[in-house]
Amino acid sequence: MATITYEHATVQYPGAERPSVNALDLDIADGEFLVLVGPSGCGKSTSLRALAGLEAVTDGSIRIGDRDVTHLPPKERDIAMVFQNYALYPHMSVADNMGFALKISGMKKEEIRKRVEEAARILDLEQYLERKPKALSGGQRQRVAMGRAIVRNPQAFLMDEPLSNLDAKLRVQTRTEIAALQRRLGVTTVYVTHDQVEAMTMGDRVCVLKDGYLQQVDTPRNLYDRPDNVFVAGFIGSPAMNLVDVDLDQDGAHLGGRVLALPRATMSALSGEGAKTATVGFRPEAVTVVSEGEGFPFEVVVVEELGSDAYAYGTLHTSRGSEGDKLMTIRVDAKRPPMKGETIHLRVLPDEVHVFSTETGRRVSGDVASVSGSGATGVGQG
């Protein structure tokens, strides 16, 4: 087991106009489960492959433990990778697939068998050891791919979208199994996914990437509660955070024909920047339904009932006229959801308002927790 450190690591493919991974700084703790997440093409696989030694680092460095591995070939890095397509050898049995890398490395037969049997026991594959991959289900193949990584007893596991070939239900079950297995083995793991729910449920910490740049790395809780910028705010959370550009005056932000009071510290930071607008965000659950006149009007367009939860999609009339009408999502009482076409009135919970600079996208508001102590009163005044 080991720590992993990216130091200003940059990967630019030959002939590419710009780096696919740009000056990445990232410290991963010994035994940590770190998830790299972001939209397609943001550089997740490239970051992982650079760590594995499959792509050349063009600037900066990567360390595993106290070894600088930047220029070491993959086989000298003591890591095991699990790929999306599992890359199993079709003509080999499960046991041979799992033991193949050990055999190549010259390990004794008895030791290989011992390790394969132990991994098979951990992964519940004992009765399939003599089968060929094609006689296995997708979930079993996925476990063989995991087994092949486990038998090597590496310093780190690297996994690139290992669940994306499974159907939705199996994916949810398997992600829990992988997370539990990783905790049991305690092996430092870097896990790539484009699915933010997968990232949030599996990672000790989650690193959000966009266009090759690190946006934020933090615990799932902190990413959710305190996104550093508009991109992270919109990417993390499902349904997504409501984000709306609003005009400012000295009292706060114009929203839904009313003024949303903002914390004094936020207002002074905004006016310090000379900002006339801000981007305000609130999550679907950060509202309460109030009586008419107490909140902003919200016209319900669609209601989505999920059983335990219900969401209403609708429009909020902003100060920018009909152009500013934004489709928003709010969580509503699943037992008594509003009706399509109905207009309800909402109050945004003042502690849960996020404010970002419209210009830079960066977070402006102070600590979410301190907002309530600084004079915010939420939508409904004014």
Ligand X SMILES: Nc1ncnc2c1ncn2[C@@H]1O[C@H](COP(=O)(O)OP(=O)(O)O)[C@@H](O)[C@H]1O
Return the number of the residue (20 or 318) whose C-beta is nearest Mg ion.
20
Residue showing tokens 């790299």: 36
Q: Toward Mg ion, which CB reaches closer, 198 or 352?
A: 198
Say how far apart CA 195 and CA 335 lie, in whole Å.
29
Longest dimension (CA), the chain: 78
Q: Is 6 in the site for ligand X (CB under 6 A)?
A: no
Shortest reach from residue 356's CB to ligand X, in Å: 24
Q: Tell me, by CB under 6 A, how many residues bind ligand X.
A: 11
What type of residue sits at position 236? I
Which member of 5, 10, 12, 45 binds Mg ion (CB under 5 A)? 45
The least distance separating Mg ion from the CB of residue 43, rounded to whole angstroms, comes to 9
10 binds ligand X (CB under 6 A): no
Residue 57 interacting partner from Mg ion, ligand X, none (CB closer than 5 to 8 Å by kind): none
Sole window of 37-45, 141-149, 169-177, 223-231 interacting with Mg ion (rule: CB under 5 A): 37-45
User: Is residue 97 a contact residue for Mg ion (CB under 5 A)?
Assistant: no
SS3 264: helix
Pairing of strands 156-160, 79-82: parallel
What b/e sequence results for 96-121 when a residue is b if at least 16 CB atoms lie within 10 Å of its CB, and e otherwise?
bbbbbbbeeeeeeeeebeebbbebbe
Q: Helices (DSSP H) in the chain: which residue ranges?
A: 44-52, 94-104, 109-123, 138-150, 168-185, 196-202, 220-225, 230-235, 264-272, 368-371
Q: Does the footprint of ligand X cover residue 210 (CB under 6 A)?
A: no
Tell me: does residue 46 bind ligand X (CB under 6 A): yes
Read off the DSSP letter of residue 308.
Answer: S
The piece of 13-21, 75-83, 268-276, 365-373 that touches ligand X (CB under 6 A) is: 13-21
Q: Does 208 engage in binding with ligand X (CB under 6 A)?
A: no
Which residue among 28, 32, 44, 190 contacts ligand X (CB under 6 A)?
44
Q: Which range, of 42-50, 250-258, 268-276, 293-301, touches Mg ion by CB under 5 A? A: 42-50
Question: 40 or 250, CB closer to ligand X?
Answer: 40
Sign of the dihedral through C-alpha 284, 286, 289, 292:
negative
- Least separation, in Å, of the C-beta of 161 and ligand X? 8
Q: Which does 13 bind (CB under 5 to 8 A by kind): ligand X, Mg ion, none?
A: ligand X
Binding flag, residue 20, ligand X (CB under 6 A): yes
State yes or no: residue 100 binds ligand X (CB under 6 A). no
Q: Does 42 bind ligand X (CB under 6 A)?
A: yes
The verdict on 19 binding ligand X (CB under 6 A) reads: no
DSSP letter at 339? Answer: P
Minimum gap (Å) between residue 160 Cβ and ligand X? 7
- Beta strand ranges found along the chain (DSSP E): 4-11, 21-28, 33-37, 59-64, 67-68, 79-82, 156-160, 188-193, 205-210, 213-218, 242-247, 252-255, 258-261, 277-282, 287-290, 296-305, 310-316, 326-332, 343-348, 354-356
260 sits near ligand X (criterion: CB under 6 A): no
- Under DSSP, the state recorded for 305 is E
203 binding partner (options ligand X, Mg ion, none; Cβ < 5 to 8 Å by kind): none
Query: Binding residues for ligand X, per CB under 6 A?
Result: 13, 16, 20, 38, 40-46
Contact residues for Mg ion (CB under 5 A)?
A: 45
